[in-house]
Structure 1
Amino acid sequence: MLFPWVGQLEQVRLADIYVHYTDVQFSKGSFVNRVQIKTASGPCWMTVPLADLRFGQRIDQVRASDKRPWRDEHLALLADAYADAPHLDAMLDMVRGVYARDYAHLGALTTASLLALCRYFGLDRHCRFVDIGELGVSGTGSARVLEIVRSLGGTTYVTGHGGANYLDHAAFDRSGIEVEYMDYAKVPYPQLHGEFTSFVSALDLVANVGSRGGEYMRPRTISWKDFPTHD
């Protein structure tokens, strides 16, 4: 995800190892190249335009388009939306730092945005980040995810809610690996522009709370056996 929401940072906080899974198919309309921010006129999408997108491309094959100055547009949008936020400068400095580099593909950009947030909140101190390309694990779908966890010596796999659509929970059980779904806390914090919402980029947390934002991350999980939509 591009500068992901607090829920994904909670997932990182729980993890001993976090795998950047960028060699899978890009899904148009997903959060890979876009994220919502909160503005005075309501939620607004902050989107990275894509160059020559073709159906079936993997995330690590999709490239950002530079036909328009989207980096400057994003910074201007953020500066306006968070003009009254106490930690505006820290948030903008983070985004400038990420956008100062060129990236070979969209996956590298989104990885950099996640890592910037993790470093800011100190989540990188106890979590090791691994790129899927380092593991050499083949296959697809649930079987591949299981093999990734096994290759890293994992005993618990923590996933977002989308995993309920394809994970073979029984296969994980047979391998002695627990599957835990995130039970997102969505703890309210001081926020501009009306009623609180958690479904915005964690840049919102940076701008409004600063480095104390970690106090509002209270990760918890629920076993797949108790998850409402399990098979």
Structure 2
Amino acid sequence: MRVAMHQPHYLPWLGLIDKVDRCDLFIVLDHVQFERKGWQNRNYVASKDGPLLLTAAVVQRSRDERILDKALDDSQPWREKHRRAIAEHCYRAAPYWKDYASSILELYETPWQGLTDLAMASTRLILDAFGIDTPILYSSEMGEFPGQKSELLAQLCAKVGATTMLSGDGARGYVDLEVFRRYGVDVEWQNFQHPEYPQHNRANAEFLPRMAALDMLLNVGPGGIETLRAARSSEVDE
């Protein structure tokens, strides 16, 4: 059984969607520390002028706060800013805007309390649209795990009976393969290949990669999942 894991991300990029699509079970690492200036509460969307960064405001308390405890800061007008950026500035004329407008706007009308709720709602919107039905578990609901870093990931794999962990290439520098071997788990590297596709507001301009997956959905529609899969390759670490 192949498992993948990642922190919850608001407006996830295609690399995360690809990871969920390729595994038998996806674990949301919501009990780990929130990363300030990380990507858990922000991502880019594509405008005619280039990448536009959207950041969901969060309440800043302790630096040790877990993601699952991170509250949204609605004293700041981030919801309306994001709604207008997506609905009026970036995607109003996108080919599939009308198909998904109500679901997207609902993200900004729902009174989410926590970042995890918002992040996973935005992620499930994309997964559902692309027809990805991989089962999802939350690490916070799986029990207590004393390990850190590779030990923690290997323990989570062992908990669910995984034989392989699919890992993003950015983790090559810190994933300890020996730890996973001790738990009887192979590590497979995602080796994500970003597909190119038409971006309606980028005519005659350079393609913008690494945007929120919303960009592909609104430009290509549900068939975008086949474009994503066609770009795929992988390798197994022996």
In structure 1, the partner of 2:121 is 112
Q: Kindly provide the amino acid, as one letter, of the partner of residue 212 in structure 2.
A: S
Q: Distance in 1 between matches of 2:60 and 2:184?
A: 43
Q: Kindly provide the amino acid, as one letter, of the partner of residue 215 in structure 2.
A: D
Q: Among 200, 208, 216, which residue is 2:211 paired with?
A: 200
In structure 2, the partner of 1:72 is 80
Deviation at 1:119, TM superposition (A): 0.8
Q: Percent identity among equivalent residues?
A: 27
Q: Distance in 2 between matches of 1:95 and 1:168?
A: 39
In structure 2, the partner of 1:48 is 56
Unaligned runs of 5+ in 2: 1-8
Contact 1:137 1:144 (8 Å CA) reproduced: no
Q: Distance in 2 between matches of 1:160 and 1:93?
A: 32
Q: Aligned ranges for residues 62-141 of structure 1 at < 5 Å?
A: 62-79=70-87, 80-124=89-133, 127-139=134-146, 140-141=148-149
Runs of 4+ in 1 over 4 A off after TM superposition: none
The TM-score, its normalising length taken from structure 1, stands at 0.90
In structure 2, the partner of 1:172 is 180
SS in 1 for 2:104: helix
Contact 1:36 1:44 (8 Å CA) reproduced: yes
CA deviation vs aligned residue, 1:172-191 (integer Å, no higher than 9, x gap): 12332110111112111111
RMSD over equivalenced CA pairs, Å: 1.6
SS in 1 for 2:222: helix
**Is the aligned partner of 1:186 residue 2:186?**
no
Deviation at 1:32, TM superposition (A): 0.5
Q: Distance in 2 between matches of 1:20 and 1:29?
A: 19
In structure 2, the partner of 1:12 is 20
Deviation at 1:202, TM superposition (A): 0.6
Q: Distance in 2 between matches of 1:183 and 1:94?
A: 31
Contact 2:41 2:119 (8 Å CA) reproduced: yes
Q: Distance in 1 between matches of 2:24 and 2:84?
A: 36
Q: Distance in 1 between matches of 2:196 and 2:224?
A: 11
Q: How many residues align?
A: 223
In structure 2, the partner of 1:223 is 236
Contact 1:60 1:105 (8 Å CA) reproduced: yes
The TM-score, its normalising length taken from structure 2, stands at 0.88
Unaligned runs of 5+ in 1: 226-231
SS in 2 for 1:19: strand
